[in-house]
Amino acid sequence: TQSTRPQRLLAAVHKKATRGNPRSVVKAIDEFCNQNEWAMNVGNEKGSEILDSVVSETNPGCVLELGTYCGYSTVRIASLLPPHAQLITLEFNPDNAAVARQVIAWAGVAEKVRLVEGESGEWIPKMKEQFGVKTFDLVFLDHWKNRYLLDTKLMEECGLLKKGSVLLADNVVCPGAPDYLEYIRNSPQYKSQFFKSHLEYTKAEDGLEKSVFLG
Ligand SMILES: O=c1[nH]cnc2c(O)c(F)c(-c3ccc(F)cc3)cc12
Ligand SMILES: [Mg+2]
Q: What's the pLDDT tens digit per position in 131-183?
A: 999 999 999 999 999 999 999 999 999 999 999 999 999 999 999 999 999 99
The ipTM estimated for the assembled molecules is 0.99
Q: Residue 186 has what pLDDT? A: 98
Is residue 197 over pLDDT 90? yes
Catalytic residues: 142, 145, 170-171, 200
Q: How far apart are CA 27 and CA 174, in angstroms?
A: 23
Q: How far apart are CA 63 and CA 89, in angstroms?
A: 8
Best of 40, 44, 172, 198 for a ligand 1 pocket test (most atoms within 8 Å of beta carbon): 40
Closest CA to 46 of 178, 210, 166: 210
Render the burial of 163-179: b for 16+ CB within 10 Å, e for the rest: eebbbbbbbbbeeebee
The ligand 1 atom nearest the CA atom of 41: 8
The ligand 1 atom nearest the CA atom of 199: 10
Q: How far apart are CA 20 and CA 5, in angstroms?
A: 23
Torsion angles phi and psi, residue 93, rounded to 5: -90, 110
Distance from residue 40's CA to the centre of ligand 1 (Å): 5
Model confidence pLDDT, tens digit, residues 101-133: 999 999 999 999 999 999 999 999 999 999 999
109 Cβ below 6 A of ligand 1: no
Q: Which amino acid is at 94?
A: P
What is the average per-residue pLDDT within 79-106?
Answer: 98
Is residue 1 over pLDDT 90? no
Non-local CB neighbours of 1 within 8 Å, separated by 6+ positions: none
Tell me the pTM. Answer: 0.99
Q: Is residue 193 classed exposed, middle or buried when 0-12, 13-18 and 19+ CB atoms within 10 A define those classes? A: exposed
Q: Is the dihedral of CA 121, 122, 127, 128 positive or negative?
A: positive
Render the burial of 49-60: b for 16+ CB within 10 Å, e for the rest: ebbbebbeebeb
142 Cβ below 6 A of ligand 1: yes
Three-state secondary structure readout of 96-119: HHHHHHHHHHHHCCHHHEEEEECC
